[in-house]
């Protein structure tokens, strides 16, 4: 129980913890600490009594106790709306969740399951939840305004993962169980490597595109590369990733999966591109993810080529390895993909003779493809 303290004026004041709020900067963006976790400030309610006697002290403490009791009753998880329960879930787990995960949860909270988001979870039955899932499946996606389609099964599965976790956490007797649509295999028409070489050659995004297509680096991995830490004795190593949180770049020394920490021999052509970068800048690619993506899509449009996301460049790499019949072990190793047999140790140092042969085989393919395109242009 909170204890009242006497003020210089003679009044009594009793402070009771109310809740915690995220610390925001001048632009209203969340402030993060050195560990990448949202900074929090504790908010207190103040209760005072002008009576300077001991009775005034009891009065202030009584008001504070009433508030605390009401707060406990109101904020019992069972009485919370789904939106409030998500807030509580995030606040109680923020030390375990990455900033990008929290950002993803907030996006779901804003955009998904809007018809039950403000319903008390004690009123959300399994039937009501099932109906909400069915409606959510039909929700139009905002990604392509010209060709409006429902959200993808993968999006629904990710949203469902958060919502079902929160419902079961704060209403364990709800008996929630809903069947989800299976994620359909998506076929994409990928551009051949020689076409991509031709499009990006000599542009400011040639290096990031080749890092993605040739070495199978993701956007966050490309942005995390530095000359001081990532480039070592002819090899390029994934140490950090850079992601955007609240539209601000954040460097993380931990990738999404341990298998994403990996090491590649630097192909000769990519080394030449690295050597041409600004020696005064440590980042290999000192551009925002948005800038890289926009330049990439504009190049495709300029050359009348079909749309491909930047991430699709990793798929090109996977397709090349399949074409060359690279053994799964080495393909998964190079791309850092998670499989049923997740590697328990991070692959960083052991480069077997066979792995060196695989690297050389892949490098030769890309180099020959690029030379063919250059000779064709002469």
Kindly give the confidence (pLDDT) of every residue in the chain, 378 residues in length, as a single tens digit, with 9 standing for 90 and above.
678 999 999 999 999 887 777 787 776 677 777 766 778 888 888 999 999 999 999 998 888 888 777 665 545 556 789 999 999 888 887 767 777 888 899 999 999 999 999 999 989 999 999 999 999 999 998 766 666 788 888 899 999 999 999 999 888 888 888 888 776 656 667 888 999 999 999 999 999 999 999 999 999 999 999 999 999 999 999 988 888 877 788 888 765 566 678 889 999 999 999 999 999 999 999 999 999 999 999 999 999 998 888 988 988 888 888 778 888 788 888 888 775 343 222 222 233 455 567 788 888 888 888 887 666 665
What pLDDT is attached to residue 70? 67
What pLDDT is attached to residue 345? 29
DSSP class of residue 97? S
How far apart are alpha carbons 25 and 16 in whole angstroms? 26
Alpha carbon 178 to its chain centroid, in Å, reads 26
Alpha carbon 320 to its chain centroid, in Å, reads 27
Residue 140 tokens read as: 């139009």
Residue identified by tokens 């939840």 is: 129
Do residues 250 and 227 make contact, with C-beta atoms less than 8 angstroms apart? Answer: no
Number of Cβ atoms within 10 Å of the Cβ of 95: 8
- Provide the CATH number for the domain formed by 193-377 in this structure: 1.10.443.10
Residue identified by tokens 């399949």 is: 322
How far apart are alpha carbons 114 and 117 in whole angstroms? 5
What pLDDT is attached to residue 153? 87
DSSP class of residue 30? B
What pLDDT is attached to residue 76? 56
Do residues 79 and 122 make contact, with C-beta atoms less than 8 angstroms apart? Answer: yes
What pLDDT is attached to residue 299? 95
Q: Does the predicted model carry a pTM greater than 0.85?
A: no
Comma-separated ranges of CATH 1.10.443.10 domains in the chain: 193-377
Do residues 240 and 227 make contact, with C-beta atoms less than 8 angstroms apart? Answer: no
Contact partners, residue 72, CB within 8 Å, separation at least 6: none
Residue 168 tokens read as: 């079961």
Alpha carbon 94 to its chain centroid, in Å, reads 14
């Amino acid at each position: 129980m909170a204890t009242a303290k006497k003020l210089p004026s003679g009044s009594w004041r009793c402070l009771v913890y109310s809740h915690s709020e995220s610390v925001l900067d001048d632009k209203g963006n969340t402030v993060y600490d050195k560990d990448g976790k949202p900074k929090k400030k504790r908010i207190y309610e103040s209760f005072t009594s002008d009576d300077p006697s001991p009775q005034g002290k009891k009065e202030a403490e009584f008001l504070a106790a009433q508030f605390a009791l009401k707060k406990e009753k109101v904020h019992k998880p069972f009485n919370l709306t789904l939106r409030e329960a998500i807030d509580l879930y995030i606040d109680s787990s923020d030390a375990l969740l990455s900033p990008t995960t929290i950002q993803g949860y907030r996006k779901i909270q804003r955009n998904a399951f809007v018809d039950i988001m403000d319903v008390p979870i004690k009123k959300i039955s399994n039937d009501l939840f099932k109906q909400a899932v069915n409606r959510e499946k039909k929700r139009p996606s905002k990604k392509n305004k010209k060709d409006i389609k429902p959200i993808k099964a993968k999006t629904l599965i990710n949203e469902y993962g958060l919502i079902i976790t929160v419902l079961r956490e704060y209403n364990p007797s709800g008996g929630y169980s809903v069947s989800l649509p299976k994620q359909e295999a998506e076929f994409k028409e990928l551009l051949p490597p020689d076409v991509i070489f031709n499009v990006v050659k000599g542009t400011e995004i040639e290096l990031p595109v080749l890092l993605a297509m040739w070495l199978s680096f993701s956007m966050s991995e490309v942005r995390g590369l530095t000359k001081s830490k990532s480039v070592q004795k002819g090899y390029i190593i994934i140490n950090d990733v850079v992601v955007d949180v609240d539209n601000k770049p954040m460097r993380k020394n931990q990738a999404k999966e341990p298998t994403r920490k990996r090491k590649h021999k630097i192909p000769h052509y990519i080394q030449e591109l690295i050597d041409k970068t600004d020696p005064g800048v440590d980042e290999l690619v000192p551009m925002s993810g948005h800038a890289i993506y926009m330049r990439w899509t504009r190049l495709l449009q300029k050359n009348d080529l079909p749309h491909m996301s930047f991430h699709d460049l990793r798929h090109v790499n996977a397709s090349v390895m399949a074409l060359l019949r690279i053994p799964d072990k080495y393909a998964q190793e190079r791309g850092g993909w998670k499989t049923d047999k997740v590697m328990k140790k991070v692959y960083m140092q052991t480069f077997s003779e066979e792995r060196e042969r695989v690297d050389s085989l892949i490098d030769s393919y890309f180099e020959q493809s690029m030379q063919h395109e250059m000779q064709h242009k002469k």
